[in-house]
Amino acid sequence: MKQDSDLRNNLKSIRTRLGMSQQDLANIANVTRQTISGVESGLYAPSVAITLRLAKALGCQVEDLFWLERDLPEIEAVLAKPVPNGQQLRVSMARVGGQWIAYPLIGKDAFRQDMIPADGESTSVAGTNKVRVRLLDDNLDTLHNTVVIAGCAPVISLWARATERWHPQLRVQYNFANSMAALHSLCRGEAHIAGMHLYDPESGEYNTPFVRDVLAGREAVLITLGVWEEGLLLKSGNPMGIRTVSDLVAGGATIVNREIGSGSRMLLEQTLQKEQIPFDAVQGFDNILKSHQDVAQAVGLGVADAAISTASIATAFGLGFIPLHQSRYDLVILKEYLEEAPVQQLLSTLGHRMVHSQFEILGGYDISKIGEVVATV
């Protein structure tokens, strides 16, 4: 039977992964090698009997081998960031505030350590911020049960993985963003939760003044994730004998900085202003990197002598650390999302021992008030 143009299969990939030749599979499934070749090339649509034999021979379900392309849904979504018109993209998907959001998997957004699997492929609609997304499978339940967090705390990924083990039907999507970028992403409807660690020296408050300003009247709650130590990352052994920010200038040290809107950059600027040191007196002040991991790597590889980050990052990378400040890391959640079941499931795990253990073994965090509502706006 000639192959249906909508019928797809991955017979070859499963066969080769198991180390089988076409003849090996043909012998086990009691068919001819030509049948295997015809199915793999798309020239032949197998009968129900042959389909069942192939699945049994390979130790998998029929649905793992064959699917109809037209069965996969196509939905309209809003892009979380601009991309060139007409460009085909790998995207990750989530339902936020009653609309579908497509997150382009481009550059560093496509990776953590391994490449992130896509939920679909999209083509942008000229003149709009919308895309048509062809999903790669039909599991819409997973997309509906996805909670999106924007933030920069590496422990968010630990929390997410622990939560997914506790609630296997829940998926947590962690989009890296500095504190202000995360807050704006929440405001634009691209995330359910924004993580931030910004200190306002005028009011002496953490995060709340910035939330109040950006959300401009929208109601939200702030739930603390923990208090972390921020300070200077240094080469192991501190060969330059740096103890303060002033020592950076006096010793001619080179730093790498973070982008505007990040808590680390704000801490550096506030410390320099307090000590009346001009920004341009610090070598490397305009050398910008965009994550805690990137600045730690720069110090570890000798690209820079110092950077601002957290005690937990210093420990993870085997670097020296001089504490400068304790900062409260809060989760900002719009009240309209607070009662959604996936969000509630995620927040409920803040009290679980499995989550606490991950934070405690990492070090550098005070989680004595984890899960407490610290402010409402």
Rg (CA), the chain: 25
249-283 residue pLDDT tens: 898 999 999 989 888 898 999 999 989 999 999 99
* Band of pLDDT at residue 336, cut at 50, 70 and 90: very high
Cβ-contact 44, 35 below 8 angstroms: yes
Residue 84, pLDDT > 70, answer no
Max Cα distance, the chain (Å): 82
Would you give the DSSP letter of residue 279? G
* Band of pLDDT at residue 213, cut at 50, 70 and 90: very high
Residue 354: its pLDDT value, please? 80
* Residue 145 amino acid letter: N
Share of the chain above pLDDT 70, in %: 93
**Which 3 state secondary structure label does DSSP give 221?**
strand
- Crossing angle between the packed helical segments 353-362 and 155-166, to the nearest 10 degrees: 150
Residue 220: its pLDDT value, please? 95
Both tokens assigned to 231: 């300070």
Cβ-contact 57, 124 below 8 angstroms: no
Residue 71: its pLDDT value, please? 57
**Which 3 state secondary structure label does DSSP give 110?**
helix
Residue 210: its pLDDT value, please? 93
Nearest-5° angle of CA 362, CA 174, CA 187? Answer: 120
Residue 45, pLDDT > 90, answer no
Both tokens assigned to 253: 């040290």
Query: How much is the average pLDDT of 99-116?
Result: 72
Ramachandran quadrant class, 224 (left: phi over 0; alpha: psi -120 to 50; beta: rest): beta
Phi and psi at 229, nearest 5°, equal -85, 130
357 contact partners, CB below 8 Å, separation of at least 6: none
Residue 310, pLDDT > 60, answer yes
| Least confident segment among 237-241, 269-273, 355-359 | 355-359
Would you give the DSSP letter of residue 109? G
Residue 126: its pLDDT value, please? 67
Both tokens assigned to 137: 């499978």
Residue 153: its pLDDT value, please? 84
Residue 228, pLDDT > 90, answer no
Phi and psi at 237, nearest 5°, equal 85, -10
For residue 150, the surrounding DSSP H or E stretch is strand 146-151
Cβ-contact 22, 36 below 8 angstroms: yes
